[in-house]
Structure formats: structure tokens, C-alpha cells
Chains A and B, each alone.
Chain A
Amino acid sequence: MKPFLRASFATAKLCLKEKSYFGFINQLAGYLLQAAALGALLMIWRSLFMQGADTGGMTLEQLYAYTILSTALAPMLNVRTPVSGWLHDGTLLGLYQRPAGIFAQLAAHTVGSWGMRLMCLSVPLVVIASALGVDLRPASAWFWLSLPLAVLQGFAVDYLFACLLIRLRNLEWCVHCLREALNALFTGSLIPFAALPWGLGRILQLTPLGTLAGAPLAICTGLEQPGLLIAAQIVWNIVLWPLALRCFDASTERMVSYGG
């Protein structure tokens, strides 16, 4: 294995193990809460359909699949690297002392931290949902391209937020609020864009945040045609990555001189 891959694998493995040290039982409460939230949301969709609302061709099964996948794939559709947290206490400094790229290390940390949740929540969710008859198989093979594109774009967005955070370093909470707000409405992770009024969804699904969760989920559940969404994802990756790299580079001095 190449040293770069070996180093990244070692970091990811350590992050995965770190989560496992907390003990499954101790994390169970958190997973149960998330599962409960999912269950309640599914029931709300069900009640919406039962009242006979015009859903514009969207089936209940599609909505179920959309919501379940949104929870199961949440860490990938809303990428959160540890960089924002590390700015505060100077941990970020440590990354600069290792013989590896900053982004590669952050990616390894992030992917490693997904492991436990995927194993303890996502896999059981998918298995249970499939057993209950919800078809979670992708409606289009393009989903397998859309998902990695969303993850890649998610990293760029996270780095941009980190740069914003370091600019407004005394207003960490505000950046957090802003991000949560944008995430709640504009990424399509909670409510499918197809369910929004006034054609709002048509616009939002092509925005840089809308393509994060909205695109892979809509492609997977067959709510939208993949062509336009994947094209938008590619465009946003091309635009956001150079921007993120430039901003990160420009913010490095502030990042390493803050905290610690």
C-alpha cells in the first residue's frame, strides 16, 4: 500500500476505534433517538398521504425511501469534518506537524468517524426497512456517481464554513446557527424539494447546498432525472473546491495562530 493511503487508513482506523471505546451501549441512546425521529417523520408522511393531499406524483414509498436514506447516509450527505471544533482548542495545529496533507488527514478523520454510526444505525436501518418492504435500491445507477460527488462537495462546503468560522472567530455560535439553518432547509435532507410549494424545489435543488443531500436522494428514489442534477454537482465541485482551497490557504495563518 502507498504510504499516503497507509497513513490515511491508520488515521481512519484510529478514529473508528476511538468511537468504539465509548461502548455501543453508551451510544445506543443517541442512535435510538435518531431512529425515533425517523419513525415519527415517516408516520407524519403517512398521515399527509392519508389526508389525500396532492403530492404531485410523488408516492409514499418514494418518500419513505427518501427519508430513510437521508438518515442512513446523513454523515455523507452533510459532511462535518472535525476542523471547526479543532479551531477552538488549537488541535488543528497538530495536523501541520504530520508528514501528510491537511485535507487528506481531515478526510481520514471524518471517514473514520462515520464507521460506528454506519454500522450501528445505518446498516440496521436499511436492513429493517428492506425487511418491512421499503425498496431502497437506487432507481438509477447514476446514484453511485452522485453520492461520491455529494461527499466531495460536502468536504469543500465544510472547509468553506471553517474559513468563515475563523474569520468570525468570536462568533462561533452564529456560524453554527447559520449552518444549521441552511442545512435544515436548503440541502433537502429533511424535506424533499419536490414537496416544496411555488416551484421552490426546482431552484433549490440546483444550488450548491441543494445538490448536497437533495441530488443523490432524489436520484436514488427516482424523484428526479439524474442528468441535470449530476451536471449541477460537477459544476459546483469545480467551483467550490478551488474556492475552498484558496480560502483555506488564506485562512491558514489565522487558524494556526488561534487557540492552543
Chain B
Amino acid sequence: MSNAAATATRTWDTAAELCHVTKYFDQKRPVSLFKREVQRIHALDDVSFTLQKGEFAAYAGPNGAGKSTTFKLLSGMLRPQAGEVRLFGMDPARSRIEVMRRTGVLFGNRSELWWDHPVRASFDWKKEVWDIPDDVYQRAVGELRDLLDLDDIWHTFARELSLGQRMRANLALTLLHEPELVLLDEPTLGLDVLAKRQMIDFLKRINREKQVTLLVTSHDMDDLTEMADRLLLINKGRLAFDGSYDQLVRTTGDSRIIRLLMRGDAPAIEGASFIGTQDGRHVYRYDAAALTPQQLFAAIARIHGVEDVELGREAIEQVIARLYEEWRR
């Protein structure tokens, strides 16, 4: 049995694993015409997490947090300075070929399509390079064309596709060899509402029906919330949160929002802080753990001229934005 195969059977239910991984880069910066200064950038600092097979996890963090570095480490493009990266129990840098047969990687700003060929040619190319058996290829192409709506663009030159069409074709190409693990870096980048919806539905479907393990990054938190059950938040190279969205909301203090429709200036509400006025409604935030509904309604009842009241959870986007801001500080 080969080394790769021997280690591959060790952790059979684990798709990917980062174990105390540290990765830094030394960046040269010009301080004058002839002088360079070396600055060490810690992309990942002692990061550990495990993705079980069939999991759908979101990977988020502010710009420069280390998301793309993580993806490159997982794809075997980079080696860590410390710690261990394993995919299906293998070191992706050492067993790159074996790992890549079972993994699909898509970077949102990069295309795997052959620019001056019809979309179909890129699929034929991948069949050969990935050694995809005929039956698997036929089945996968049939499904992907159907599910990602590729029929209309199947014979179109890749250079002539719109951004949304290109992303769909790229995603289909990534999934053509029926990977067990899919790493998607910003797959919804630049997509319109409908294209984004189709993409999300499709990813949820392959995760549900085929037990494909997915790790997805995006700056659109609403997309991530909708797609993934688990959220990994990274900040300045450290894993800042690993859990469900509900857990995240609870950790950050179960923030709720009140919107008051009324004329005049925003009045003060005891226990809530005024955020601003949007569309004629005064918006407040309060911590549901600190302010009971009775106390809240009593406080609102004391205000004159209230025409309407809306209550709701704070959007995950805002929760995360607040977190990023706190981290930056």
C-alpha cells in the first residue's frame, strides 16, 4: 500500500483538517529608493479546525484575514511553517495529485475555462486531464448542464460569457470530477440576485444529496448564513469563532432591533441605544438578555406619537460588521 493510501484510511470521516497551522510571509517594503524593509505578515497563526465529510462550512473574515492562504494550504499550493494540513488524511502538498482527484477548487477571481474555446471544450479537456471515466463524465455533464443551466452557453466561446455565466460554467467545471471536497473562494462574486440564488441552491443541493463537503468564503454574510450550517470566522490569522450562527449571535450578546415609525426627533428608550433613522423610522439596538419584553414595551408605551413598531433580530451582516469593527480597534 502506498504512503498516501495508508494515511488516507486513517481518518476516514474527516475531509479536511488544519492542526495548529502557522503561516507567515516576509514582505519587502521599499522605504526609500535603495532601502527595503522586511515585514513579517502572519497570515495564519496557530489555526486548527476539522471539516467532517458532508459538512457545509462558511469561512469568513475581514480583508487580509487569511482566507485565501487557508485555501492555498488546503489545496497543497502552500506549505505551513508550523502545524499540519491534511485532506482525507493526506498531506496535500506531498500527495497533491491524489488529493486533487478528490478535491475541487475554485477561486472567484480566476477562471479555469479555456478563453478562446467553447465552454464544452473546457469540459472535454478536464475529462482527459482528470482522467474522468466516460460514464462518470456523461452523468456529471448531464446533471451539471441541467442544474446550472448551461445548455444555452454550452457552445459559446468562454470569452463571450457574462460574469454570471462564467461563474456557473466555472463551478460546473470544478464539480465535473465529482469531488468529495469543494473549496470555493468567493463563488458569488459579482453575481446578480438570480444567479446567486441559483448558485446557492445548487451548492445546498449537492451537499444534501451527494454529501459533498463544502468550504465557502464570501464577504456576503447573508449568503453564507443561508448556505452553511457552520461558520468559521478568522481574524488577523487567528480563528476567532467556530460554531453555528445562533451561537455567534448569542456570543455577541443577542442583539435585537426596534424600528419606531413616528414624527419628530428620535426619543430615548431606556435600555436601548439609538443607531440612526432609516426611511423615516428611528432604529434602536438593545440586548435581549438585558432588557425583558415587558420592560421594552413599557418604555415604548411611554413615548407619544408612535405610529408603528417593528421588532427583529439584528441582521447577521450587522453582527459581523460590528465584530470586524471591534477587531479592528
Residues of A within 8 A of B (CB): 20-21, 23-24, 170
7 A-B pairs with CB atoms under 8 Å apart are A20-B30, A20-B33, A21-B30, A23-B36, A24-B34, A170-B116, A170-B159
Interface range on chain B: under 10, 10 to 19, 20 to 34, or 35 or more? under 10
The digit string for B230-249, where 1 denotes a CB below 8 A from any CB of A, is 00000000000000000000
How far in angstroms is the closest Cβ of chain B from A130?
A: 26
Smallest Cβ-Cβ distance to B159: which chain A residue: A170
A23 to B36, CA, bound (A): 9
A-side contacts of B33, CB under 8 Å: 20
How far in angstroms is the closest Cβ of chain A from B28?
A: 8
How far in angstroms is the closest Cβ of chain B from A123?
A: 16
A20 to B116, CA, bound (A): 36
Smallest Cβ-Cβ distance to B116: which chain A residue: A170
A79 to B36, CA, bound (A): 31
Smallest Cβ-Cβ distance to B33: which chain A residue: A20
How far in angstroms is the closest Cβ of chain A from B115?
A: 9
Smallest Cβ-Cβ distance to A22: which chain B residue: B30
A20 to B36, CA, bound (A): 11
A-side contacts of B36, CB under 8 Å: 23
6 smallest beta-carbon distances between A and B, as pairs? A21-B30, A20-B33, A170-B116, A170-B159, A23-B36, A20-B30
A21 to B33, CA, bound (A): 7
B-side contacts of A20, CB under 8 Å: 30, 33
The digit string for B41-57, where 1 denotes a CB below 8 A from any CB of A, is 00000000000000000
A244 to B192, CA, bound (A): 39
A-side contacts of B30, CB under 8 Å: 20-21
The digit string for B21-41, where 1 denotes a CB below 8 A from any CB of A, is 000000000100110100000
A7 to B169, CA, bound (A): 43
A196 to B34, CA, bound (A): 45
A47 to B92, CA, bound (A): 57
Smallest Cβ-Cβ distance to B157: which chain A residue: A170
A21 to B35, CA, bound (A): 10
How far in angstroms is the closest Cβ of chain A from B30?
A: 5
A95 to B287, CA, bound (A): 49
Cβ < 8 Å to A, chain B residues 62-104: none
How far in angstroms is the closest Cβ of chain B from A223?
A: 39
A23 to B146, CA, bound (A): 52
B-side contacts of A21, CB under 8 Å: 30
B-side contacts of A23, CB under 8 Å: 36
Smallest Cβ-Cβ distance to A170: which chain B residue: B116
A24 to B32, CA, bound (A): 13
B-side contacts of A170, CB under 8 Å: 116, 159
A170 to B117, CA, bound (A): 11
A24 to B34, CA, bound (A): 8
B-side contacts of A24, CB under 8 Å: 34
How far in angstroms is the closest Cβ of chain A from B37?
A: 12
